[in-house]
Chain A
C-alpha cells in the first residue's frame, strides 16, 4: 500500500492459509485504545494465519501420503503410463476425510474457542473506538458551531 495512505489495506488470499492479510495503518496520533485494537487485530491475524497454514499444509501432505499408500496397496504407481497423476475416487478418499476430521477435532475445538473470543474482543474494541471517535467529532462540531 502507498506510504501516504491513511487506511488499512487488504490483500489477496494467502496461498497457504487462504486468509487475506491486512496491513494496518498506524496513525501518528493513535490513542491507547486504538493501539489496543490494532494490536489485537494483528495478533488475531497472525494466529489465524499460523493455524490455517499449518492445517492446509498438513491436509495436503497427509492426503498425498494416503493416496500413495492406497495406490501401493493396490499395486499401482503414483503416475500411470500416460504420466497422469493417479487419483483415488471419492469413496476411497472418504476414509481419509473421516480420519483427518477426527484426528484434528480437538485442535479445531480449541481454535474455535480462541477465534470466538478474539472476534468478540476485537468487535467490542471497534465499538469503543467508534464511540470515542463519534463523541470527539460531536464535541468538535459543538465547538465549531459555538465559534
Chain B
C-alpha cells in the first residue's frame, strides 16, 4: 500500500536553491527570517513523501527533493487511471527519431515544469531508447546527486561554520561549503548506484535516474568520482586536512557502511545519525581547524535530532521496508523505535543546555529553545505512548521545523564577544605598525 501524507501539493513556486549564509555577524533579522521561511517551505513540501529511506548522504535525513515529491503525488493519481499498455504494441508505431524527440520533450518537461507528472507517466508506459541526451544531463545529474538534499547538507555545514568562535572568513566558508557539497554529491550518487533494484521497488525512489535507465552505472560512478575527488581535495588543501579527512570518512560511512547495513541490521539508523551529524562538525573544523567541544556538541545535536525525525517517518513506511527487505527499527523492534525517538528528544534539551556551558552561546539559548524542545519531546512522548500514524506524522512534521529553528536561535544567541575582542587587538596592532612605518 502506498502511504501518502495528507499534506496536499502546496503550490510552492520553485525556489531557487540559494541559501543565504547564516554568517552575517550583525544578525540581520530579515535575512535569517527569509532563510528560515525558505527552509520551512522546502521542508513543508518535502513532507509529502513516503520515504525516508533516510537518504541522508551527509546529514539531514530530510529525504528527497520536493520536486520528486510533488511528481510522486500527482503521479500516483495519474497511475490509478492509466492502465499500463503492453510494451510490444507501443513501439512499433514509433520511429526512433519520433520517440527520441518525444523523450527529449518529455524529459525537458520533466526537468523544468511544475507538472512533470504527465511526462513521467508517459515515460513509464513506453519503451525508451537508452541513449544519453546531453541536454538532459544536468537534470539527471542533479537528481543523481540529490541536489536539494545536498543543499541542506551544505547549509548544516555552514551552520557549523557560523557557530565557530572565529572572525568570519568568506573564502574559507565558500571553500568548505563547496567541498562539502561535492562530497555529498559523490556519496549520494554511489548510494543510488548500489541501490538500483531496491529503489525500483519502493514508491518514493522508483523515479531515480539509474532506475529509469537515463544514465549508465558507469557514468554514475565516474560522476561520483569526479565530484568526490575534487571535493575532498578542496577540503584537504583549501581548508584544512582535518575537514578533508572528515569528509572522506563521511563518504565512506554513508556508502560503505550505512547503505549495505540498511539491509543487514537495524544498526544502520545509528550509523546514519552519525552521517548526519558530521557536516556541522566539518563546518566547525573548517573554521577553527580543530575538533573542539563545540563541534562535538553541534554534531551531538544533529545526531539526536535524526532519531525523532527518522523513526517517526519510518513508522509509516513499514510495508515498503518489509517487502523490500530493509531492516528498520520500525518494522523489527517497534517498541525500541519509539523509545529511542523519545530518548533523543529529551537529549536535545540536555544538549541545548550544554551549549552555554561550553561557551558557544549565551544562557538565553537554552531558555529560548526550551519551548520548542519541550514541544518536540511532548510529541515524542505521544508517539511513544500512542504508536499510531497520526502521532508519528505529528512528530515528523515537528522535526522539520524544529531543527532550522533551533539552529537559528543558536546562531542568534551566539557568543560573539570573542570576535570583537580579537578585532580590537588586530586594529590596535596594525595601527601601531602603520605608525612605525611612517616615521623614518
| Interface residues in chain A, defined as those with a beta carbon under 8 Å from any beta carbon in chain B | 1-2, 4-5, 7-13, 15, 17-23, 48, 52, 55-56, 59, 90-91, 93-94, 96-98, 100-102, 104-105, 108-109, 111-112, 115-116, 119, 122-123, 126-127, 130
Asked whether, in the complex, the Cβ of A11 is within 8 Å of the Cβ of B319, the reply is no
Asked whether, in the complex, the Cβ of A94 is within 8 Å of the Cβ of B128, the reply is no
Q: Which DSSP category, helix, strand, loop or mixed, fits chain A's interface? A: helix
Asked whether, in the complex, the Cβ of B206 is within 8 Å of the Cβ of A101, the reply is no
How far does the Cβ of A18 sit from chain B's closest Cβ, in whole Å? 5
Known: A12-B84, A100-B322, A102-B332. A1 touches B197 (CB 8 A): no
CA distance A130 to B321 in the complex (A): 36
Asked whether, in the complex, the Cβ of B389 is within 8 Å of the Cβ of A90, the reply is yes
CA distance A56 to B200 in the complex (A): 12
A-B contact count (CB 8 A): 125
Asked whether, in the complex, the Cβ of A5 is within 8 Å of the Cβ of B129, the reply is yes
Residue from the set A20, A23, A105, A111 with the largest chain B CB neighbour count within 10 Å? A20
B contact residues around A93 at 8 Å (CB): 318-319
Q: Which DSSP category, helix, strand, loop or mixed, fits chain B's interface? A: helix
Q: Mark B315-348, 1 if CB is under 8 A from A, else 0.
A: 0101101110101000110100000000000000
Interface residues on B, range: 35 or more
Asked whether, in the complex, the Cβ of B130 is within 8 Å of the Cβ of A101, the reply is no
Asked whether, in the complex, the Cβ of B264 is within 8 Å of the Cβ of A12, the reply is no
Asked whether, in the complex, the Cβ of A98 is within 8 Å of the Cβ of B331, the reply is yes
Known: A2-B96, A93-B319. A8 touches B130 (CB 8 A): yes
Q: Mark B141-162, 1 if CB is under 8 A from A, else 0.
A: 0000000000000000000000
Asked whether, in the complex, the Cβ of A20 is within 8 Å of the Cβ of B211, the reply is yes
Residue from the set A10, A15, A23 with the largest chain B CB neighbour count within 10 Å? A10
Asked whether, in the complex, the Cβ of A9 is within 8 Å of the Cβ of B206, the reply is no
CA distance A111 to B326 in the complex (A): 13
CA distance A1 to B90 in the complex (A): 9
Question: Cβ of B124 < 8 Å from any Cβ of A?
Answer: yes
Known: A10-B130, A59-B323. A91 touches B388 (CB 8 A): yes
Asked whether, in the complex, the Cβ of B197 is within 8 Å of the Cβ of A10, the reply is no
Asked whether, in the complex, the Cβ of B200 is within 8 Å of the Cβ of A18, the reply is yes
Asked whether, in the complex, the Cβ of B217 is within 8 Å of the Cβ of A119, the reply is yes
